[in-house]
Amino acid sequence: MNTARDDIHAAAPDPAAHAATERRMWLAWAALAAVEDPEIPAVSIVDLGLIRGVNSRPDGTLEVGLSPTYVGCPATEVIRRSVEAALHEAGVGCFVVTTVLAPPWTSDWISTEGRRKLELYGIVPPEHSAASLREVLRSSKPVACPRCHSTATECVSEFGSTPCKALHRCRACLEPFEYFKCI
C-alpha cells in the first residue's frame, strides 16, 4: 500500500516529527486490520481490500481511503462508522475517511490471508480476475464445495444473503454454501 512518502518528508523535515507520523500510520493500519466486515465477521476490511491507503496530508491529518464493495451495500455505512470508531480508539490523532471509487474495488484485491479466512468461514473465495467480459457473462467453472471439496456443485442463485455473495449447492454432500462473487 502506498503511504505517500513525499508528503511525509514535506510535512516533517525533522526526524522526530517524521517518526511520530510513521507511528500514527502504523497505529492506523493496526486499528484498521482489526475492523471486521459486519456481514462476514471472519474477515477484516484490510483483508477484503477495502482500504485504499493511509496517507499523511501536509497539515498532519491522516487520510484513510475506503472503497465500497457494491455501491448499494448497506454494510458500507456500518464499515465507515466502525473505521472512524477504531481510528478514534487507537488515538491516531486528526484523521479523515474518504470514499475512493476509482479504480473500482475488485474481488482480486482480497488478500491471500483474506481468501484463507473466507474459506475457513465456509465461503468459497472468488475466482481470480474478472478480466474478460465474456467470462463474467457466462462463467460456468465448477466451484469446489468448501466442506467435501467435490466439484459436483451447482449455482442455486446468482445472488445471496449479501450483495457480494452467490448461493451454491453441493450435489455430493448435499450442503448449500456461499460463493464470494467475482467482480
Partner 1 sequence: MSAMPFGRVEPQALFRYVLRLGDLNLVLGQRLGEWVGHAPALEEDLGLANVALDLIGQARLLLTYAGEVEGLGRDEDDIAFLREHGQYLNPVLVEQPNGDFGQTIVRQVLIDAFQLEMYERMHASTDERLAAIAAKAAKEVRYHLRYSSGWLVRLGDGTLESHARVQSALDALWPYTVELFAEDELDRAMADGGVAPRLADVHAAWLTRLDAILAEATLERPSDRAHSWHGKRGQHSEHLGYILAEMQHLQRAYPEARW
Residues in touch with partner 1 (CB under 8 A): 68, 70-74, 101-106, 130, 133, 136-138, 156-161, 163, 167, 181, 183
Cβ within 8 Å of residue 79, ≥6 positions away: 35, 37, 38, 45, 50, 66
To the nearest whole angstrom, how small is the minimum distance from the Cβ of residue 112 to partner 1?
22
**Cα(179)–Cα(183) distance, rounded to whole angstroms?**
12
Cα 151 to the center of its chain, rounded Å: 27
Which of residues 27 and 73 has its CB atom nearest to partner 1 in the complex?
Answer: 73
Which of residues 25 and 105 has its CB atom nearest to partner 1 in the complex?
Answer: 105
- Taking a C-beta distance cutoff of 8 angstroms, is the pair 146, 126 a contact? no
- Taking a C-beta distance cutoff of 8 angstroms, is the pair 62, 28 a contact? yes
Which of residues 47 and 178 has its CB atom nearest to partner 1 in the complex?
Answer: 178
To the nearest whole angstrom, how small is the minimum distance from the Cβ of residue 66 to partner 1?
13
Which of residues 38 and 60 has its CB atom nearest to partner 1 in the complex?
Answer: 38
To the nearest whole angstrom, how small is the minimum distance from the Cβ of residue 38 to partner 1?
16
